[in-house]
Structure 1
Amino acid sequence: MKARSFYLALGSVALTLLLLAIAGFYWLVGQSPLRLLQGGRVASPEAAMFVPKQAPAMVSLLVKPEQLRAFRLAVSSLGDRRKAREELEALERTLLTSRGLSYDADIKPWLGSEITLAVTSPDIDRTPANGQQPGYLLALETENPQQAKEFVQLFWQKRAIAGSNLVFEQYSGVKVIYEQGTGATSADTGTPTPTLASAVVGDRFVLFANYPKVLRDAINNVQAPDLSLKSSQKYQDALAALPESQIGLTFVNLPQLGAWLGSQSPLGRLSSDKNRQFESLVAGIELARQGLLAETALLAAPGQPLTAHKPALTEPVGALQFIPPATPFSASGTDLSQLWGQLTEGLQDYGVLSALLGQPIAALEDQWGVTFEEDLVPWVNREFALGLVSPPGREPEWVFVAEKSPETAAGIEKLNAIAQRRGLTVGPITLEDRRVYTWTQLLPSSKRRGAELQANVQGAHTMLDKYEIFTTSVEAMDEILKHPQKSLRTAQSFQEAIAPLAPYNDGYLYLDWESVRKPLEQRIPALKLAELVGKPFFDHLRSLTITSYGSDTKVQRGAVFVQLKNT
């Protein structure tokens, strides 16, 4: 499990899912929708020729929207299809009908099988003094050029009737049409004013942008191919690492994405060029019966070669058999020492993500009086599983399982010594006919006078089979020992969440969305805004599972499975 790829993949997949949530829920019916389970077309968006190499992000849909809509209905149960249709109709009203457009009448007759949306630049005039002016480009493939041109002509006629002041410009043989914004000039001098611009490029694409300059730059990228993302060798290398057939694709330039989002964004600031290990990420999207599967490829930054390795696992680690089945968050794999180093290094410049990891770990460290990195990580060099459980009526608790190794005994002795220095009593108790060692704080009883003491257990651990099990309470340990046949490893929800992923991997990061939604919203305020924008998607989100498939010296491969609910 390569932690950095996990968290970087999350950001890019979020962009992809937003497009799929918008483009995939239109009111249309297609033929043979279940064929999409076999993928769409080769994951190489043609519109990449319009996008500059340094673009922060690009998201492409490589099948027609009506095919996604038909697939959505096909995989829904009969009882849920009415609700699905209502959701699709509501989304179309929001996106199109409210703007005087109809997909059936205005777009479907000419739209091809590619829709690409790109953030082309964090700041199109590169002038920090007037704030960021990001450029956005929408490229729509055409399969009926004449009808596409008629649509664009009618579109601008309606804008003119509504009072828009239109500007017509010939640029390198392409007609560019845009609305004249207040304070803007045709040469885009001064502070650019956002407007709406369009161009029809040959018989292939209809382009829309928020500035005329974005369209001019897109045309330049086609006429000087070395400028475009499509000509980037690293981009092509990343595409080669993905499965051939996809229904969508995302490209993220990590440094440029950080510049676009800014230092105050939820992702925080990005590492300096000198320390940055990864430069960009490409994710190909496939449809599964229960959700979306993103195959990811992280590209190493210049001068930062990766350590080549092959996946170590062919099935979930045995340590997961001691993690309770209702665990909403778990991480599992091998060699925690290596993982922890990658995790802390990869997240140190991402404020909120670092806090999400740091806050619960800090609570565990405070309770046990240990330093996770120094007192636990070094001796866990085989299988491990970490779970954060939320028992009804009790505070969240940790369960940590480590496979025994030659270093285990010394590691536990160190933990016992730390507990004793803190004034805790280290001693055995019996649970389910098994000896369990506890770290206990003895306090005077508040209910009775005299010398009676109250025991406050800070932690417990025991050896079972070849695994050392740690919990933050006796109750949690008792549940594990009392129900050994019930675990996350065999739970149906977890099995479904890992089923689409390749069996050869480095472990899993698993998140049950319904259980962690509120805590995440409290820590990431921007998440609530994202949920409003992508409400149809978030309302159906069930779980998120992330894994790594290994790497060569240039590319780190992995996958993210987003499991969705039908109702």
Structure 2
Amino acid sequence: MVQNKPLLKKPPLPLLVAAALLFVGGGILSFWVAARRGQLARTLPAGANAIPADALMVVALSSDEAQWRRLRQFGTEATQAQFDQLLVQWRDRLLAEQNLTFARDIQPWVGPEITLAVLPDTAPAADLPPSLPAPELALRSNVVMVLPIADANRAQSDLGERLGQAEQAEDAPYRGVTLQQLEGQADAPLYAAVLSAETALLSPQLPLLKRAIDAYRGGESLVNRPGVGKAFEQLTETRPLARFYVDVPALAETVAANADPPIAPSRLRAFQTPRGLVGAVAVKNRGVALQGVSWLEPGAQTFATGNQADQMPQRLPTGTLLAVSGGDFQQFWEDFQAGEQFSALFPLQADEVALGLQSATGLSLEENLLPWMAGEFAVGVLSPPAGPSDTPPLPNPALVLMVKASDREAATATFEQLDAVMTSRYRFAVDTVDMGGVPVTRWTAPFDSLVMAYGWLEGDVAFFTVGQGIADLVAPSPGRRLAENNLFQATTGEAPRPNNGHFFANLEALSEAENNLLLPPLPQEGLLGSEAIEAIGVTATVLSDRQVRYDMTAILKRGDRPADLPSPDADPAEP
């Protein structure tokens, strides 16, 4: 008996198309997510998928010995020796006590970079904040080293033999990974795990090694940390000596907990906002360059957008010793007042500055100055001009402040009020002189002990100077501009244009400057002293309302060709 088959109703064509698109789209989406995760893993430091997401700091160091040799050629004989000693101390810090050396046991097979991740302490000391390691111990005990394997055969012959002799740390593998304990001269052992043919791990703490395995097996890793991958993608350096990631609030808390004297809470406010920082350090022909990207994690706080700083390097003279510029003084003051970003590191507080101004002049910063200062600005400490050769030189502040006025009429009214204050309260002589077609008003103290001046440059730029002969250096325009200075070009030339402002310090000239009242004594010796560093430049560029890029370059003095670093077994050199 033949049964009639029920008729199957065909779905409408649009539904079939939608289903097909959904199927294909879902496959594409899955493929994109997988590919994107793989792309991020390649963009991030090596082994990022084995680094737990709550890492406090991650540093990926190049294993290219030639790059480190290039870095070692900079500096004086003394600073080169100090840097070499530092490298020797850290080269085998985790390894030497286990009878391992980097050159013999790791370098022949390791990939292009080695990643060190500092993780939260599993057993913090009682006097430290929870989950944060003591800084001086972090790179010794709270670190996981991720070693990418570039030559599996060589790794097997070099490290594999040592692992074959090692005991298992536990009876059973952890999540399919064998944990091994390397015995050495140290009281604490070193634990090792091979995750795959491409990745191995080392750590002095077994719990941290397990946490890295958890991240690798699908747990929350650095790859999943919001903003990290996008920030690393913004870095354009192709041959970094080192790359890094910092959890800024956690690092600030660590520093604050161990600072002596304690850091005031108001100065830490800027660093407690959930934010991260990544960067790349590279060796250049004349020194070292750092490119960094800072970002805010999801939340209400955002960065003020806009890159309006482009004039001030043309306004300051080439003899500028120290300069800070920005795109909007009102925004700068708002951040300074709120303790936002790096203004929290300034030695003065915003309230102290405002109160001091009001006490000295009777003017309110909020009411009399800020309303017309919504424009680009710069503060510079200049090289004082030479005085008469037959008289001893007098101390000279050599200070200049420039602001592009957003309301010239209001600014003029403020200057007129200041004229009256300087005459009536301080008995300064007030007169106006012509400097190359620019009317300049001078305030001269009794006995000519101090001269201050102000005027207007082209484009509604107001300037104010403190010091004898300083107005002549900026009005009507510098004879030679800071933008033409070789050191300024070398330290800021690679930064984006336009940008949000610069910081520039000519350390070599600063160390030789005389009679400047505003310059504190500079460290002459050491790795960070003026005998090794010629100049430093930093440029900030706002990428979006959640990302800021920083470009920093240090011009270093070049020393003699470095010799090979001593082997771990060599006796320490005589100081």
TM-score above 0.5? yes
State the Cα distance separating 1:337 from its structure 2 match.
0.9
Tell me what 1:472 maps to. 466
1:90-109 equivalences under 5 Å are: 93-96=88-91, 99=96, 104-109=103-108
Structure 1: how far apart are the matches of 2:414 and 2:236?
A: 43
Tell me what 1:413 maps to. 416
Secondary structure in 2 aligned to 1:309? coil
Tell me what 2:543 maps to. 551
Whether 1:258 aligns to 2:252 is: yes
Tell me what 1:46 maps to. 46
Tell me what 2:174 maps to. 171
Whether 1:294 aligns to 2:296 is: no
Secondary structure in 1 aligned to 2:320? coil
Tell me what 2:326 maps to. 333
Structure 1: how far apart are the matches of 2:425 and 2:87?
A: 62
> May I ask how many residue pairs the two structures share in their alignment?
481
Whether 1:507 aligns to 2:463 is: no
Tell me what 2:401 maps to. 400
Contact in 2 for aligned 1:57/1:251 (Cα 8 Å): yes
Structure 1: how far apart are the matches of 2:316 and 2:374?
A: 19
Tell me what 1:55 maps to. 55
Contact in 2 for aligned 1:509/1:547 (Cα 8 Å): yes
Whether 1:422 aligns to 2:429 is: no
Encode CA deviations 1:414-451: one digit per residue, 9 max, x unaligned: 43344346334351154757653233443xxxxxxxxx
Whether 1:115 aligns to 2:114 is: yes
Amino acid in structure 2 at the alignment position of 1:338 = Q
State the Cα distance separating 1:387 from its structure 2 match.
0.4
Decide whether aligned partners of structure 1 residues 375 and 515 sit closer, same or farther in structure 2, where only a CA change above 3 A counts: farther
1:371-386 equivalences under 5 Å are: 376-386=369-379
Decide whether aligned partners of structure 1 residues 112 and 499 sit closer, same or farther in structure 2, where only a CA change above 3 A counts: same
Contact in 1 for aligned 2:76/2:557 (Cα 8 Å): no
RMSD, aligned CA? 4.7
Structure 1: how far apart are the matches of 2:291 and 2:332?
A: 21
Decide whether aligned partners of structure 1 residues 258 and 150 sit closer, same or farther in structure 2, where only a CA change above 3 A counts: farther
State the Cα distance separating 1:490 from its structure 2 match.
2.1
Tell me what 1:461 maps to. 454
Tell me what 2:152 maps to. 145
Structure 2: how far apart are the matches of 1:154 and 1:174?
A: 15
Structure 1: how far apart are the matches of 2:351 and 2:532?
A: 28
State the Cα distance separating 1:45 from its structure 2 match.
1.6
Contact in 1 for aligned 2:304/2:545 (Cα 8 Å): yes
Unpaired runs of 5+ in structure 1? 1-40, 161-165, 183-192, 443-453
Could you say which structure has the larger radius of gyration? 2
Decide whether aligned partners of structure 1 residues 463 and 499 sit closer, same or farther in structure 2, where only a CA change above 3 A counts: same
Encode CA deviations 1:493-539: one digit per residue, 9 max, x unaligned: 212222111223222122234466899xxx999x98xx96xx39986
1:181-330 equivalences under 5 Å are: 196-225=190-219, 227-243=220-236, 245=238, 247=240, 248-265=242-259, 277-306=273-302, 309-312=305-308, 316-317=310-311, 319-330=312-323
Structure 2: how far apart are the matches of 1:486 and 1:333?
A: 21
Amino acid in structure 2 at the alignment position of 1:118 = A
Structure 2: how far apart are the matches of 1:475 and 1:179?
A: 70
State the Cα distance separating 1:330 from its structure 2 match.
0.8
Secondary structure in 2 aligned to 1:566? coil
Contact in 2 for aligned 1:253/1:280 (Cα 8 Å): yes
Decide whether aligned partners of structure 1 residues 559 and 536 sit closer, same or farther in structure 2, where only a CA change above 3 A counts: closer
Tell me what 1:66 maps to. 65
Question: TM-score, normalization: structure 1?
Answer: 0.69
Decide whether aligned partners of structure 1 residues 66 and 358 sit closer, same or farther in structure 2, where only a CA change above 3 A counts: farther
Structure 2: how far apart are the matches of 1:93 and 1:181?
A: 19
Contact in 1 for aligned 2:76/2:558 (Cα 8 Å): no
Structure 2: how far apart are the matches of 1:518 and 1:252?
A: 36
Identity of aligned residues (%): 21
Secondary structure in 2 aligned to 1:296? strand
Decide whether aligned partners of structure 1 residues 249 and 495 sit closer, same or farther in structure 2, where only a CA change above 3 A counts: same
Decide whether aligned partners of structure 1 residues 566 and 349 sit closer, same or farther in structure 2, where only a CA change above 3 A counts: closer
Which is strand-richer, 1 or 2?
1
Amino acid in structure 2 at the alignment position of 1:541 = I
Structure 2: how far apart are the matches of 1:72 and 1:482?
A: 43
Question: TM-score, normalization: structure 2?
Answer: 0.68
Structure 2: how far apart are the matches of 1:257 and 1:237?
A: 21
